[in-house]
Each structure stands twice: as structure tokens, then as C-alpha cells.
């Protein structure tokens, strides 16, 4: 990665450079005639851990997180189809995403004790996967992802992707338009810049973001249902942002009520929905603790 001029803003910490400079293998596995891309950090002999992104995101959102886990795990970070470097489909469904998750774990050589760590939309798809294939997973960590109480007000839906379908004449123009969805500030500008730089693709007309602009209109069977969460049989854990506008204490209380198992929870202070961008080191610490608790249950 080209290093931008550090004199233009706050000093970028060394841990970030050490993480993003860690080399990952680029791999693909075919699922229902589409290539599913993932990044793999092999660490033979260690248990497997799969990282899954949120809506319109991709595996490179984890580049500064995954390498910090390699002392304990071998790690894969996948691109769900329609996002990142994976192929686009004519239509998308939770059952197909569940097959993609299992296929990546199989291709990476992860055994049945492997853990999934999944953010936001990726968390919903992971719940579907562990219910369809419970014997394949050792545990699930939901990251700011859950189901609201029926009486809890639903916030106005964000305009996912913001610039959906927009083609920019040059890379610089596109980078200036990068925004988190749902909208939130993030003090770690260097992380936003890194993600933005790795979220663009070039075509014959210019530059565009790496997601299928038809994804939301062709997505089926992705509604969050209480019975999906009630059916979780594998060890579960949860990490959420204290200031998240998509996950509240009421949501947490409802999940603790309907899910028939006690599960460990970590709240990340001074963090919103994109909590591992807001507080990356606190997130890694919490994730390490909570994964150890899940492993003890397996």
C-alpha cells in the first residue's frame, strides 16, 4: 500500500502499518457457478476463524484486524457475492450466502471448531448459516448485529451505498465521496482512507464502488426473524458499540430473552455501528476474550 503523507494529519500508529503490511493469500471458491473471493492468513496448527463483512463492504475492511489475531488463529476474511471481489449474481438469498460461508471454511481447511465473526448484515447471514449447518461451526460472534424487540422503533433506513450506480471520472473524485453507511463520524481518518482506497474498481467508463448496485433489489429471504435466533444451537457471543444507532440495550435485552442460552457480551465504549473502525484495539482485545470463552464451551 502506498503510504500517504503523514504530515497531512495525525500520525498513523505503527500497529496499523504492521497489520496492513501482513501478506494474505487471495483465494476463490466456486459456489453455485459464482466465484467467492476470500483473503487467507494461514497459521498451521491453530484453530480457524472466519471474518464476514457488512452490507456493501468487503474482506479488506478486516485488513487491520485479521493480522492481530494470528498469534491465536489462522484467519480468513471473505467477500459475500455481490460485494468486494466476488462475482455478482442475478439474485441473492440467505441460503446461498450460507453455502458460501461453508464453502470458504471448507476451502480454507477449517475444522468444525472454527469460529465465525460477522458484522451487521454478515451477522444475519451467519445466523442463517449456523442454523442450516450447525455441525459445521464451533461458535458465532455477532458484531453489532441482532434482532430488535417488536416494539422498538426502527430508525429511518439508510441509503445503502450512497452513490449506488455512480461512475466517477477519476479515482480522486470517488475517494472524496466515500461515506460510511449508516452515516456516522469516525475519528480514525487513516482507516477510512485505507478502506476507501480498497473499495474502488475501474471499468471502461471510470471508477465505481465494489458492490452490485442491484443487490438490494434482488435480495430475498433475509428478514430477521425471532425463530432464527431462538434456533441457534452453537455457542454464541456478541460485541456491540455503546453508541451504535443500529444496536441498543433494548435489542440486547430482547436477544437475551429469546435466545435459549447464556452468551457473553462485550460493549465497546466510544464506538458506533462500525465499532472496529472506531476502536480497533479495544475491539481486538474484546474479540480475543470472547473467542476464548466460546472455545471453552466447544
Q: What is the DSSP string of 196-255?
A: HHTSEEEETTEEEESB-TTTGGGEES----HHHHHT--S-EEEEEETT-SS--HHHHHHH
- The pLDDT value given to residue 273: 97
Give a yes or no: residue 268 inside a domain: yes
Whether the link from the prior residue into 203 is cis, omega within 30° of 0, is no
- The pLDDT value given to residue 297: 77
CATH number, domain of 262, equals 3.40.50.1820
All 3 cell numbers of residue 152?
422498538
If phi > 0 it is left, if psi is from -120 to 50 it is alpha, else beta; for residue 135 that is: alpha
What predicted TM-score, i.e. pTM, was given to this entire model? Answer: 0.94
CA distance 50 to 252: 23
pLDDT digits (tens, 9 = 90+) for 143-155: 999 999 998 887 7
- The pLDDT value given to residue 285: 98
In terms of residue numbers, what domain contains 246?
10-149+215-297
Number of domains the chain is built from: 1
| Low-confidence stretches of the chain (pLDDT beneath 70) | 1-10, 156-165
Give a yes or no: residue 40 inside a domain: yes
CA distance 58 to 155: 24
Amino acid at each position: 500500500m502506498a503510504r500517504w503523507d503523514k504530515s497531512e494529519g495525525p500520525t498513523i500508529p505503527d500497529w496499523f502499518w504492521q497489520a496492513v503490511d501482513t501478506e494474505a493469500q487471495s483465494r476463490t471458491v466456486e459456489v453455485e457457478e459464482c466465484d467467492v473471493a476470500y483473503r487467507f492468513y494461514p497459521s498451521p496448527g491453530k484453530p480457524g476463524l472466519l471474518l464476514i463483512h457488512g452490507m456493501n463492504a468487503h474482506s479488506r475492511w478486516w485488513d487491520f484486524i485479521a493480522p492481530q489475531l494470528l498469534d491465536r488463529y489462522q484467519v480468513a476474511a471473505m467477500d459475500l457475492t455481490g460485494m468486494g471481489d466476488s462475482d455478482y449474481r442475478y439474485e441473492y438469498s440467505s441460503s446461498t450466502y450460507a453455502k458460501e460461508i461453508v464453502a470458504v471454511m471448507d476451502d480454507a481447511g477449517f475444522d468444525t471448531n472454527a469460529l465465525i465473526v460477522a458484522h451487521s448484515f454478515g451477522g444475519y447471514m451467519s445466523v442463517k448459516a449456523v442454523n442450516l449447518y450447525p455441525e459445521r461451526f464451533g461458535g458465532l460472534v455477532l458484531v453489532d448485529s441482532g434482532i430488535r424487540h417488536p416494539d422498538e422503533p426502527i430508525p429511518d433506513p439508510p441509503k445503502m451505498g450512497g452513490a449506488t450506480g455512480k461512475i466517477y471520472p477519476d479515482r480522486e473524485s470517488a475517494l472524496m465521496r466515500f461515506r460510511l453507511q449508516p452515516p456516522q463520524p469516525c475519528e480514525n481518518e487513516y482507516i477510512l482512507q485505507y478502506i476507501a482506497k480498497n473499495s474502488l474498481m475501474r471499468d471502461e467508463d471510470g471508477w465505481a464502488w465494489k458492490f452490485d448496485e442491484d443487490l438490494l433489489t434482488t435480495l430475498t429471504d433475509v428478514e430477521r426473524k425471532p425463530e432464527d435466533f431462538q434456533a441457534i444451537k452453537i455457542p454464541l457471543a456478541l460485541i456491540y458499540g455503546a453508541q451504535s444507532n443500529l444496536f441498543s440495550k433494548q435489542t440486547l435485552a430482547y436477544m437475551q430473552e429469546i435466545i435459549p442460552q447464556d452468551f457473553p457480551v462485550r460493549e465497546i465504549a466510544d464506538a458506533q455501528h462500525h465499532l472496529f473502525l472506531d476502536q480497533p484495539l479495544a475491539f481486538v482485545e474484546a474479540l480475543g476474550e470472547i473467542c476464548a470463552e466460546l472455545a471453552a464451551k466447544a
